[in-house]
């Protein structure tokens, strides 16, 4: 079984209150290494069988139309991962 990962992030010009809250909270935990944080979404789509070019095109279409709001979000990544590896290639 293969999976397709879709990454969605708020557009750079869009305020990201969750990211802002995290970046303000980090110094209270003694963490000062990061100057900014943005929070987005990661989807994993399970595919039975082979990931053909057509399946990937369908994933891209779903990413743009259902998994993201194109007014405020960008689809930054659509990648195939195999379950044989625990992390992305």
For residues 22 to 61, the per-residue mask of contacts with its own copies, x marking binding by CB under 8 A and - elsewhere, is x--xx--x-x-xxxxxxxxxxxxxxxx------x--xx-x
Q: Would strands 73-82 and 2-10 be described as parallel, antiparallel, or unpaired?
A: antiparallel
What distance in Å separates the CA atoms of residue 7 and residue 2, rounded to the nearest whole number? 16
Angle in degrees, CA 6, 8, 12, rounded to 5: 150
* Residue 80 touches its own copies, criterion: CB under 8 A: no
Where along the sequence are the contacts to its own copies (CB under 8 A)?
4, 7-9, 19, 22, 25-26, 29, 31, 33-48, 55, 58-59, 61-62, 65-67, 76-77, 79, 86-88
């Amino acid at each position: 079984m293969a999976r397709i990962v879709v990454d969605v992030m708020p557009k750079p010009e869009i305020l990201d209150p969750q990211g802002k809250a995290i970046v303000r909270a980090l110094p209270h935990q003694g963490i000062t290494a990061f100057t900014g944080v943005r929070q987005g979404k990661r989807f994993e789509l399970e595919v039975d069988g082979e990931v053909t070019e057509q399946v990937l095109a369908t994933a891209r279409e779903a990413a743009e139309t259902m998994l993201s709001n194109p007014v405020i979000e960008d689809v930054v990544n659509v990648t195939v991962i195999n379950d044989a590896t625990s992390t992305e290639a």
